Structure 1
Amino acid sequence: MDGYHFTSTLFEVEPGEDEEINPRMYGRQLAQWLKSQLEKRGYDIEPIIAEDWGRCLMCSRDPFMLWVGCGSMVDYGTAQPGDPPPPNENLIWCCFPMAEVPFWKRIFKNPDTAASVAKLDADLRAILSDEPGITLVAPP
């Protein structure tokens, strides 16, 4: 699944947040909001994990890792070193569901992730579609 791309008036870039991950990658407020929305739907989300590509919301670890990745699309092609973050109205946010089965589990018993990923994807679609401050867009 490719996930979802959207614009929103709900999330701001916080000063220095891209220093936690990679330059010009934002999404701390998006991750906090998504965590809250997923918890309302019954997911037990671990503390938000900063990754080099964005933020990870771990939904479960057993029998496989089920998580949501989220953040902003980067503008490395147009940004110059030292440029301020892009204006909120120019940011494209993204999120996607993912499942990972550790190697040793694939050897002995490869759990089927399809139903869990499909449910998480449907929940993400509903969360994003139901929020008036979010407009889904085609991937750039």
Structure 2
Amino acid sequence: MHSKVTFDSSLFSPYLPDDAQANPNCYGAELAFWLSKKLAERGVFTSYPIAEDWGWFIEYITESEDEFWLRCTNRDGSADQWQCILEAKPKSWFGRNKPSLERAETLLMALRAVLEGQPEIGNIRWGDAP
């Protein structure tokens, strides 16, 4: 099961200037809000997007209370190249007891369907995050 997807699209280009972003050339708000809504339309519910220094994420919690972040960021300062990385969050201190990615299969399947169903998104490539 792959934990990273990269793709190209002009749908998520920021509409606010760089000085309104969390960090210069660091985008992802438009992508995170769009994904949160599209996933909800498929019955996969996440948090509202949350800002970080590196971009934005939406939180997904499974029925068994496993927590995952879907990190949404641009690549290399680009306004039309994007990536989403699934990150399992530990249930205890020091990063121990992280759930397996298989527990987020529902999220990943919905993410794949949402991205592949959008004609304005291209060059979709799945892989594993480092």
Unaligned runs of 5+ in 2: none
Matches within 5 A, 1:78-93: 88=79, 91-93=80-82
The answer to whether the 8 Å contact 2:49/2:57 transfers is yes
The answer to whether the 8 Å contact 1:69/1:95 transfers is yes
TM-superposed deviation, 1:92? 0.8
Structure 2 equivalent of residue 73 of structure 1? 75
1:79-138 residue CA offsets vs partner (Å, 9 max, x unmatched): xxxxxxx5x5xx31111222212325x87xx47433222332222111111110100245
The answer to whether the aligner puts 1:122 opposite 2:109 as a matched pair is yes
TM-superposed deviation, 1:13? 1.4
The answer to whether the 8 Å contact 1:7/1:137 transfers is yes
TM-superposed deviation, 1:33? 0.7
Change over 3 Å in CA distance of 1:54–1:102 after alignment to 2: same
1:13-67 residue CA offsets vs partner (Å, 9 max, x unmatched): 1223664422101121111110111111222222210011111101227622122
The one-letter amino acid of 2:86's match is P
Match of 2:30, SS state, is helix
Match of 2:25, SS state, is coil
The count of residues paired between Structure 1 and Structure 2 equals: 124
- Return the index of the structure with the highest Cα Rg: 1
The one-letter amino acid of 2:106's match is K
Question: Alpha carbon RMSD of aligned pairs, Å?
Answer: 2.8
Q: TM-score, normalised by structure 1?
A: 0.72
The one-letter amino acid of 2:72's match is C
TM-superposed deviation, 1:12? 2.2
Identical counterparts, % of pairs: 29
The answer to whether the aligner puts 1:95 opposite 2:96 as a matched pair is no
The answer to whether the 8 Å contact 1:6/1:93 transfers is yes
Unaligned runs of 5+ in 1: 76-85
Change over 3 Å in CA distance of 1:128–1:24 after alignment to 2: same
